[in-house]
A = this chain, B = another copy of it.
Amino acid sequence: MKIGFVGIGPMGLGMARRLLDAGHMVSVHNRTEARARPVVDAGARWSATPADAARDAELVFSMLADDDAVETMTLGPDGIAAGLAAGAAHVSSSTISVALSGRLAAAHGTRGQGYLSATVLGRPPAAAAGELFVVVAGDLALQQRATPALEAMGQRIFRVGDDPTRANLVKLSLNFLIFSTIEQMSEIFALNDKAGLPPAELLEILTGSFFNAPVHRNYGRLIVERAFDPPGGPMTLAAKDARLFLEAGNDLAVPLPMGSLIHDRLLAAIARGEGGLDFAALSRRAREDAGLPD
């Protein structure tokens, strides 16, 4: 299949290479050309603009940092929508707001273009290995056409219906689940630490009993080892995701008190100069509130 790919960051790099490896013809665009070099060296074609990357493609993926980037790269001059043929489709994999996803669907629709949300779970090594989890939503026939591309990237594909915004809502929900699991663990780590039991020992009990999911093991380890710098995912991005989660709740009239708590914690971290650390460092707030040393 001819596929465009816009946004060659750590995640996009792995995803685009998996498409190449699966035999697709891939055109890539990235704001900074140099970062796309490895995938171009691996056989992708460089495109000077998102519109160019989309021009002859059946599908064009985007994997970008935030709403602003996705809106500009899609609807701006020389954006994806300007190059994409009628009947071809944009597959948005970025973690964006439900509201923007709805606007993109509408904007492509008026041009006769298709639109899918195919959000992904996993960090860059999983992207490179094709072991992401993919949550896809949108027109069902289009989902079928995109399946070979999605299977190249993911170890498992979850389908959540024909409204593309649902995949965005699920992604924001899962990110909230990660953040709030960090907060859960941080509160009990602080409490037990102050009583004399080190976090590493408590984590061993968690992961040795009923709390042994990857979310517990991976983030528990980051907290215990204080492995916050360089960040796997920075606090500022987490705060953005928490904000989008709450905005979705606001728009649907669903109160999310635990979501509110997490968002406030993340803002405090940023205010205290920790915006560039890994978001697992939100564990510092519970320690600080307990009067424990960093």
- Check A255/B243 contact, CB under 8 A, given A170-B202, A206-B177, A208-B156: no
A248 within 8 A of B: yes
Contact of A268 with B289 in the complex, beta carbons under 8 Å: yes
B-side contacts of A161, CB under 8 Å = 196-197
Contact of B255 with A250 in the complex, beta carbons under 8 Å: no
B-side contacts of A289, CB under 8 Å = 254-255, 264, 267-268, 271-272
- How many A residues face the partner with a CB closer than 8 A? 77
Contact of A271 with B255 in the complex, beta carbons under 8 Å: yes
Contact of B187 with A259 in the complex, beta carbons under 8 Å: yes
A56 within 8 A of B: no
Contact of B156 with A169 in the complex, beta carbons under 8 Å: no
A246-280 to B contact mask, C-beta < 8 Å, 1/0? 10111011111111110111011011110000000
B-side contacts of A17, CB under 8 Å = none
Contact of B211 with A290 in the complex, beta carbons under 8 Å: no
A212 within 8 A of B: yes
A68 within 8 A of B: no
Bound CA–CA A17/B185 (angstroms) = 34
Smallest CB gap from A255: residue in B: B264
Bound CA–CA A192/B172 (angstroms) = 10
Using a CB–CB cutoff of 8 Å, the interface residues on chain A facing chain B are 98, 121, 133, 135, 156, 158, 160-161, 163, 165-166, 169-170, 173-174, 176-178, 180-181, 183-185, 187-188, 190-192, 194-197, 201-202, 204-206, 208-216, 218, 239, 243, 246, 248-250, 252-261, 263-265, 267-268, 270-273, 286, 288-291
- Check A160/B201 contact, CB under 8 A, given A249-B191, A260-B261: yes
Selected A-B contacts with CB under 8 Å, 30 pairs: A133-B205, A133-B208, A156-B209, A158-B208, A161-B197, A163-B195, A165-B195, A166-B192, A166-B196, A169-B191, A170-B192, A173-B202, A174-B205, A187-B256, A190-B254, A191-B248, A191-B249, A191-B254, A210-B213, A210-B214, A210-B215, A210-B218, A212-B213, A212-B214, A252-B290, A253-B290, A255-B263, A255-B267, A257-B264, A268-B291
B-side contacts of A286, CB under 8 Å = 254-255
The 9 closest A-B pairs by CB, nearest first: A271-B291, A260-B260, A213-B213, A255-B264, A173-B188, A253-B271, A268-B289, A254-B290, A255-B267
Cβ distance A235 to chain B, nearest Cβ, rounded Å: 11
